[in-house]
């Protein structure tokens, strides 16, 4: 896929609003502020295409990007933002869960987890639910630049140990080699 040929298509809130034709979808999921939108920009090598923010809760809709007329990259709103009301958390469940569950075009879900912390309950719940649905997913440990090489290795081992069946990659938007690895190993269709 030529990632330079990426354009924004549409923001939606329900699966039935998604763009046509149906194409394979790569979906980015994870907690608010974990770096979903930033990682998509890094893959596209375009720092402005996907809206990012240092304040959690930036992405509020399901955003479709068309890559090289071959696939959609889908940026999801984050979950688990503590300052958000219970009602908003429920809205995530009600909007995003059916989107994932009923969407047969999903080729891969990237579950982004901050490499610096222990795995959180909401992340584990998502992973277990994806296992139950038999959806393909890969866990990406984000912001690896914030740790020393040694610490990043230890944390990666911890995640491999904690999530034994998962495929796990450390990534950083500041480490072009990690982005290139992702493009070549995971995104080549």
Ligand X SMILES: Nc1nc2c(ncn2[C@@H]2O[C@H](COP(=O)(O)OP(=O)(O)OP(=O)(O)O)[C@@H](O)[C@H]2O)c(=O)[nH]1
Residues forming contacts to Mg ion in the complex (CB under 5 A) are 36-37, 58-59
Provide, rounded to whole angstroms, the least separation between the CB of residue 87 and ligand X: 17
Candidate list 35, 44, 65, 179; residue touching ligand X; CB under 6 A: 35
Specify the residue for token string 């990426």.
Answer: 6
Q: Which one of the spans 11-19, 88-96, 132-140, 171-179 is the region binding ligand X (CB under 6 A)? A: 171-179
Candidate list 6, 36, 80, 147; residue touching ligand X; CB under 6 A: 36
Closest C-alpha among 137, 145, 151, 189 to residue 171: 145
Does residue 14 touch ligand X according to CB under 6 A?
A: no
Specify the residue for token string 């907690």.
Answer: 31
Provide, rounded to whole angstroms, the least separation between the CB of residue 180 and ligand X: 14
Q: Can you tell me the distance from the alpha carbon of 39 to that of 107, in angstroms, rounded to the nearest whole number?
A: 18
Q: Which one of the spans 13-21, 84-92, 118-126, 170-178 is the region binding ligand X (CB under 6 A)? A: 170-178
Per-residue burial over 165-174, b = 16 or more CB atoms within 10 Å of its CB, e = otherwise: ebebbbbbbe
Q: Which residues are within 8 A (CB) of 86 and not within 5 positions of it... i.e. 6 or more apart?
A: none
Does residue 178 touch ligand X according to CB under 6 A?
A: no
Does residue 62 touch ligand X according to CB under 6 A?
A: no
């Amino acid at each position: 896929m030529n990632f330079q040929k990426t354009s924004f298509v549409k923001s939606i809130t329900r699966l039935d609003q998604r763009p046509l034709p149906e194409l394979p979808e790569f979906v980015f999921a994870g907690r608010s502020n974990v770096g979903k939108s930033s990682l998509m920009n890094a893959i596209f090598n375009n720092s402005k295409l996907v809206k990012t923010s240092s304040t959690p809760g930036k992405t509020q809709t399901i955003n479709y990007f068309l890559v090289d007329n071959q696939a959609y990259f889908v940026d999801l709103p984050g979950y688990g933002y503590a300052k958000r009301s219970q009602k908003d958390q429920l809205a995530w469940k009600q909007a995003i869960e059916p989107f994932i569950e009923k969407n047969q075009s999903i080729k891969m879900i990237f579950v982004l987890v901050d490499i610096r912390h222990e795995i959180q309950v909401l992340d584990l719940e998502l992973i277990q639910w994806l296992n139950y649905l038999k959806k393909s997913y890969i866990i990406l440990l984000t912001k690896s630049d914030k740790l020393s090489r040694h610490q990043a290795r230890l944390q990666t081992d911890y995640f491999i140990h904690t999530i034994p069946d998962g495929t796990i990659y450390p990534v950083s938007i500041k480490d072009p080699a990690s982005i290139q690895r992702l493009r070549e190993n995971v995104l080549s269709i």
